[in-house]
Amino acid sequence: MIDIEIYKKIKTYQGVKELVVKDKIPQGSVTKVYGPSGAGKTTFLRMIAGLVSPERGRIKAGDQLWFDAAVKLNLSPQERRAGFVFQDYALFPNMTAMEHLRYATADQPLIERLLQIGKMEAFAGHKPQQLSGGQQQRLAILRALALRPKLLLMDEAFSALDDELREELITDLKVILKEFEASTIIVSHHAQETLGFADRSLKIE
């Protein structure tokens, strides 16, 4: 269970807005986060990951407090160990696909399985500039999974994939996330993208 109650003022194209989120995310669930552009969906993910700090509230993952403004507790992203798939992929330009995965884990059987899931076996020696947008996006997902996260955060993580590839990837993701007993929070602007994947939703306005 991820227990979230956070507040932060954010700057938008419409001026300063209040981002207030209260939710309890069940263990093993996949939550789709949706809402209008500029509502703070990406900021919400970054606050859970520890990349941005809320002004008030708390975040609790299982029995561990990640953030509590009242007692000035704020665990680092490294301590939270959430897998994060960034909207811009955030890949290292000088590292091959294989090196990205080895940076996250020393578990070679897991790496080989992930390359197979992402249909990236033939591109293991390629650097990001040698990959298509869809291949880069898949690599970003695989790198996040290599951490064996208990919480996976995905920001528009399927936007560069065609329908067939997305459906195949979702099928494999559901299996491996169940093995990891991981919860997933995915931001998406398109309902079609998360069909068959998300089992609950959270609207941010």
Q: Which domains does the chain have, with CATH numbers?
A: 25-52+76-203 (3.40.50.300)
pLDDT of res. 58:
98
| CA–CA distance, 103 with 143 (Å, rounded to integer) | 8
Percent of the chain past pLDDT 90, that is, above it, reads 88
Q: Could you count the other beta carbons within 10 Å of the beta carbon of residue 201?
A: 14
| Contact present, 131 and 92 (Cβ < 8 Å) | no
- Of 8-17, 38-47, 69-78, the range with the lowest mean pLDDT is 8-17
**pLDDT tens readout for residues 141-190:** 999 999 999 999 999 999 899 989 999 999 999 999 999 999 999 998 77
**Predicted TM-score of the model (pTM):** 0.92
Note the helical H segments in 62-180: 77-80, 97-104, 108-117, 133-145, 163-180
